[in-house]
């Protein structure tokens, strides 16, 4: 990667901004957990905040916001298989469980 | 033998090889943690009762650990930025803090585990603790791995800065990608295990 001194300084300012955002979101997610919301609402809120935090880390610290095509393609496959992994596992709920007949 | 494309970009990918390599590795890591995470969801939904994380686990300690790990991610990326600005002294400082934060995370985790064992909570106690120990344990092993690599680049590995500076910058970028991933996993583990 070719970056000028000035560009890197700009990056550093972004990193500090992301750091502050991550800290704020951590506080929010902990405070929300003390409200003891219903489990469905709590899961949605917690995972929503975690996804924002995760995206910030991936986009800025891992430089995904400006990466080469080959990395995006790799991650597209990863997302596909990751979703497949979850969905296929969850279908287990529809399995017909055979309970042995005890006489 | 010369390792190809450590600095100059590969014509097919437009990247140095290690970067493609680490991303492929991280993709496999997504599947590893994904499988365990999915098992957790399945076990939890299928269980007649499941304790809330905040009833069984120490939220203040885990929150401190979250802050420590996020801070270490920032210092990691700052160490890379310092090298890009050719400031080796700052690199040493930021990388040193990164390693230190990793160690603090492990010490806090050890206290947490110790408290659980004192209360006779083991992986064999129930599915909740089995999930908790498996997920945080595997994550902890990743932290240990990252600390070893980062400590090497802080110490003996940093000699490369004098001989092949660009290759060293690339190494730090790759080590950083791994470290940020470990942070990212924790960002999801923390709310799912402790806060729900």
Work out the average pLDDT over B144-153.
98
Work out the average pLDDT over B86-103.
98
A92 — pLDDT class (breaks 50, 70, 90): confident
Portion 10-69 of A in contact with B at CB < 8 A: 11-12, 15-16, 18-19, 22-23, 26, 29-30, 32-34, 39, 42-43, 46-47, 49-50, 53-54, 57-58, 60-62, 68-69
Whether residue A1 is predicted with pLDDT greater than 60 in this model: the reply is no
- What the block records as the tokens of B104 is 């603090």
Q: Is there a contact between A57 and B187 if contact means CB atoms under 8 Å apart?
A: yes
Cα B176 to Cα B170: distance, rounded to the nearest angstrom: 10
Contacts of B194 in chain A (CB under 8 A): 33
Q: Is there a contact between B195 and A46 if contact means CB atoms under 8 Å apart?
A: yes
The answer to whether A70 and B20 are in contact (CB under 8 A) is yes
Q: Which pLDDT score, from 0 to 100, does residue B64 have?
A: 97
Topology classification of domain B17-195: 1.20.120
The answer to whether A8 and B48 are in contact (CB under 8 A) is no
Whether residue B191 is predicted with pLDDT greater than 60 in this model: the reply is yes
CA-nearest residue to A22 within chain B is B70
Alpha helices in B15-164 (DSSP H): 17-46, 53-56, 59-84, 88-118, 127-154, 160-163
In which element (H, E) is residue A52 found?
A: helix A39-56
Tens digits of per-residue pLDDT, B25-66?
999 999 999 999 999 999 998 899 999 998 899 999 999 999
Whether residue B89 is predicted with pLDDT greater than 80 in this model: the reply is yes
Work out the average pLDDT over B75-84.
97
A62 — pLDDT class (breaks 50, 70, 90): very high
* Terminal CA-CA length for chain B: 53
Domains of chain B, residue spans: 17-195
Tens digits of per-residue pLDDT, A47-60?
999 999 999 999 99
Q: Which pLDDT score, from 0 to 100, does residue B145 have?
A: 98
Burial of A62 (0-12, 13-18, 19+ CB in 10 A): buried
Q: Is there a contact between B184 and A54 if contact means CB atoms under 8 Å apart?
A: yes
B117 — pLDDT class (breaks 50, 70, 90): very high
Residue among A3, A39, A85 whose CB faces B84 most closely: A3
The dihedral built from the CA positions of residue B160, B165, B170 and B174, taken in this order, carries a sign that is positive
State the ipTM, two decimals: 0.93
Residue among B38, B81, B176 whose CB faces A89 most closely: B38
């Amino acid at each position: 990667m070719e970056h000028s001194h000035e560009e890197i300084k700009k990056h550093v300012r972004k990193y500090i901004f992301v750091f502050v955002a991550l800290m704020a979101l951590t506080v929010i997610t902990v405070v929300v957990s003390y409200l003891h919301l219903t489990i469905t609402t709590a899961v949605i809120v917690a995972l929503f905040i975690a996804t924002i935090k995760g995206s910030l880390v991936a986009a800025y610290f891992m430089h995904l916001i400006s990466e080469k095509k080959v990395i995006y393609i790799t991650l597209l496959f990863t997302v596909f298989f990751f979703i497949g992994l979850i969905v296929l596992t969850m279908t287990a709920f529809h399995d017909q469980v055979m309970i042995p007949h005890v006489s | 033998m010369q390792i190809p494309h450590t600095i100059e970009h590969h014509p097919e990918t437009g990247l140095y090889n290690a970067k493609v390599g680490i991303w492929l590795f991280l993709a496999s890591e997504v599947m590893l943690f994904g499988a365990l995470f999915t098992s957790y969801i399945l076990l939890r939904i299928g269980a007649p009762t499941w304790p809330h994380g905040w009833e069984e686990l120490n939220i203040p300690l885990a929150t401190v650990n979250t802050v420590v790990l996020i801070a270490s991610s920032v210092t990691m990326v700052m160490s890379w930025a310092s090298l890009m600005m050719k400031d080796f002294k700052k690199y040493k400082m930021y990388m040193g803090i990164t390693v230190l934060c990793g160690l603090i995370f492990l010490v806090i985790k050890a206290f947490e585990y110790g408290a659980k064992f004192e209360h006779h909570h083991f992986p064999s106690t129930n599915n909740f603790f089995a999930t908790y120990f498996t997920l945080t344990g595997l994550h902890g092993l990743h932290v240990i791995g990252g600390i070893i690599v980062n400590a090497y680049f802080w110490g003996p590995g940093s000699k490369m800065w004098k001989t092949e500076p660009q290759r060293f910058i690339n190494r730090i970028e790759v080590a950083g990608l791994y470290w940020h991933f470990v942070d990212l996993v924790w960002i999801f583990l923390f709310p799912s295990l402790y806060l729900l």
